[in-house]
Amino acid sequence: MIPAEMEPQVLATAVQAPMMAALFWMMHGLRRGLSERPCAPEEPPPQRCEADALARTRDELVAFKLEVARTYVPLSLIRDVDQRLTQQLLRIEEKLDAATRAATAAAAAVAAQQPQHRWRPEDRA
């Protein structure tokens, strides 16, 4: 069969099948490697090793994130973003303060315009 005459889905399946097999093989190799990794003799092997491997992986991820933050983002850019963010937050705070003052003044004006109702004791009954 000539590839030009094949349906696109058949071509996609033909390409994806070996890739899925390769991914499965890599995952199998990783799992086998983790299970064969030696543990300290005083620890129970199955659960303790998995917990240690998970902790090591998390520590390595944190170290990598820190390295990326240090290496790939210049400090001047971080300071610039921080300064712009701070200025924007201050502007928002000023707008909220102005809105609060306006709402308080409007409430006071409405309260001053309304007549004071004094209830007499006989009206309550």
| 91 neighbors 84 (Cβ within 8 angstroms) | no
pLDDT in tens, 92-122: 999 999 999 999 999 999 988 887 766 666 6
Q: What is the pTM of this model?
A: 0.37
pLDDT at position 66: 87
pLDDT at position 1: 60
Q: At 67, is the pLDDT very low, low, confident or very high (cuts 50, 70, 90)?
A: confident
Calculate ∠ Cα 12-18-19, nearest 5°.
80
